[in-house]
């Protein structure tokens, strides 16, 4: 890691661990959201949980939509380090609180607060751009997204496996019978606490360095002028579309695995869904960064992004036709392969977009740009799960 970055290994690892935390907390809910909806007594029909499950995922994104631009301004004023520490503390607290929800109202409210107080992706992207130099930013940004994927994979496994331990017969406990989903989110909180301690002792402020290397009479642009800049605007459009597509595809695949067999689904359990989602990501985890670095060194971030989007559109067009195949095993294997391809392409495109985005503005505008783009992307992602769930509910 030291060959890519100008800071110490521990300092950069603290940034990556914060990204792991927000990924783990955000995605732990995916394999168990439908089961949680049924535990609230809203419905007993597996095919009618999609809308509420989508709303649970959406509430976190709505919190990010509102708060991300504000956090971006705070980062450019107060610094990256205090925002990171505050976000980790809030993420740990609300993650544990979320595991103790017993009704849909408190579930949606705490999930919203979790999204509003966890701008770790905003701080992470900014810190990596300031801790690394030149062409090495591409490798560092890919590693950042790889830590996100590691959190996503582990959350997919642990979310489904650790949920409802009493029902699984692991042990008898009145507490876990009352709060069946507490365990995975308590573990999420503990990881955030560890990341907070590591960041507190080792993470230094990078805004000071930026200010020292920037002229005092630097032009101050409004956020509107920043995002409408001809170099920035096309990147933001692609970034938002990518996030919408990713969230919609994940929700659609999850609902397809959960739905009854007589409606074209696989009728899997929460644990099986966790295995499916986790394994499809785990398969490419060891190779995605190497693939990305090979293509970006050979063709550049722009070409990787253009061709990646083309192939991603083809994959998205194929996925709906999987359910037409009558053989269950062939359908499952094909879906697994398409998930792997989708995740690989999404990783390469996202890495390229983030590098181009952070190279499109001067350092003193990075916080506001990353905050605003995160807000726009979260806005797109906030509607994707709910719209997908509503579509499945109507079928």
Confidence of residue 119 (pLDDT cuts 50, 70, 90): very high
Tally of CA atoms within 13 A in the half-sphere of 256 that contains its CB: 22
Say whether pLDDT at 1 is over 60. no
How would you write the chain as a 3-class SS string? Answer: CCCCECCCHHHHHHHHHHHHHHHHHHHCCHHHHHHHHHHCCCCCCHHHCHHHHHHHHHHHHHHHHHHHHHHHHHHHHHCHHHHHHHHHHHHHHHHHHHCCCCCHHHHHHHHHHHHHCCCHHHHHHHHHHHHECCCHHHHHHHHHHHHHHHHHHHHHHHHHHHCCCCCCCCCCCHHHHHCCCHHHHHHHHHHHHHHHHHHHHHCCCCHHHHHHCCCCCCCCCCHHHHHCCCCCHHHHHHHHHHHHHHHHHHHHHHHHHHCCHHHCCCCCCHHHHHHHHHHHHHHHHCCHHHHHHHHHHHHCHHHHHHHHHHHHHHHHHHHHHHHHCCCHHHHHHHHHHHHHHHHHHHHHHHHHHHHHHHCCCCHHHHHHHHHHHHHHHHHHHHHHHHHHHHHHHHC
Say whether pLDDT at 90 is over 60. yes
| Residue the block writes with tokens 């990556």 | 16
Say whether pLDDT at 252 is over 70. yes
Model pLDDT, residue 86: 96
Instruction: Identify the bridge partners of residue 5 per DSSP, sorted by sequence position.
Output: 132
> Which domains are seen in the chain, by residue range?
9-205+221-394 (1.20.1250.20)
pTM, to two decimals? 0.77
Model pLDDT, residue 5: 43
Residue bearing the bigger pLDDT, 356 or 279: 356
Say whether pLDDT at 208 is over 70. no
Q: Are 243 and 381 in contact (CB under 8 A)?
A: yes
Q: For residues 284 and 302, what is the distance between their CA atoms, to the nearest angstrom?
A: 22
| Residue the block writes with tokens 């990010």 | 64
Confidence of residue 44 (pLDDT cuts 50, 70, 90): confident
Query: Mean pLDDT across the stretch 17-32?
Result: 88
Query: Mean pLDDT across the stretch 372-393?
Result: 75
Query: Mean pLDDT across the stretch 302-329?
Result: 82
């Amino acid at each position: 890691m030291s060959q890519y970055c100008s800071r110490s290994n521990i300092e950069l690892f603290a940034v990556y661990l914060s990204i792991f935390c927000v990924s783990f907390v955000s995605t732990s809910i995916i394999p168990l959201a439908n089961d949680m909806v049924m535990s609230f007594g809203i419905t007993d029909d597996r095919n009618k949980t999609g809308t509420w499950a989508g709303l649970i995922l959406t509430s976190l994104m709505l919190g990010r939509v509102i708060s991300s631009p504000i956090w971006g301004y705070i980062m450019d004023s107060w610094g990256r380090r205090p925002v990171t520490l505050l976000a980790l503390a809030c993420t740990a607290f609300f993650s544990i609180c979320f595991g103790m929800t017993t009704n849909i109202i408190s579930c949606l409210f705490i999930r919203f607060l979790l999204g509003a107080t966890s701008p770790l992706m905003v701080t992470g992207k900014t810190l990596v751009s300031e801790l690394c130099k030149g062409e090495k930013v591409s490798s560092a940004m890919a590693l950042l997204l790889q830590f996100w994927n590691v959190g996503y994979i582990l959350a997919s496994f642990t979310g489904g496996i650790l949920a409802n331990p009493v029902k699984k017969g692991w042990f008898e406990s009145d507490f876990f019978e009352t709060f069946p989903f507490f365990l995975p989110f308590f573990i999420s909180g503990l990881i955030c606490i560890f990341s907070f301690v590591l960041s507190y002792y080792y993470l230094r402020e990078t805004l000071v360095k930026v200010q020292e290397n920037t002229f005092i009479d630097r032009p101050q642009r409004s956020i509107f002028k920043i995002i409408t800049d001809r170099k920035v605007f096309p990147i933001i459009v692609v970034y938002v579309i990518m996030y919408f597509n990713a969230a919609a595809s994940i929700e659609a695949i999850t609902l397809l695995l959960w739905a009854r067999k007589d409606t074209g689904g696989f009728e899997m359990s929460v644990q099986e869904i966790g295995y499916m989602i986790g394994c499809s990501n785990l398969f490419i985890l060891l190779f995605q960064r190497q693939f990305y670095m090979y293509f970006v060194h050979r063709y550049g971030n722009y070409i990787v992004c253009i061709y990646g989007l083309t192939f991603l559109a083809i994959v998205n067009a194929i996925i709906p036709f999987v359910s037409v195949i009558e053989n269950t095993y062939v359908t499952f294997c094909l879906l697994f392969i398409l998930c792997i391809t989708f995740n690989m392409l999404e990783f390469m495109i996202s890495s390229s977009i983030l590098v181009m985005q952070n190279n499109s503005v001067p350092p003193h505008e990075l916080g506001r740009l990353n905050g605003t783009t995160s807000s726009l992307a979260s806005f797109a992602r906030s509607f994707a799960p709910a719209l997908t769930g509503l579509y499945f509910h109507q079928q």
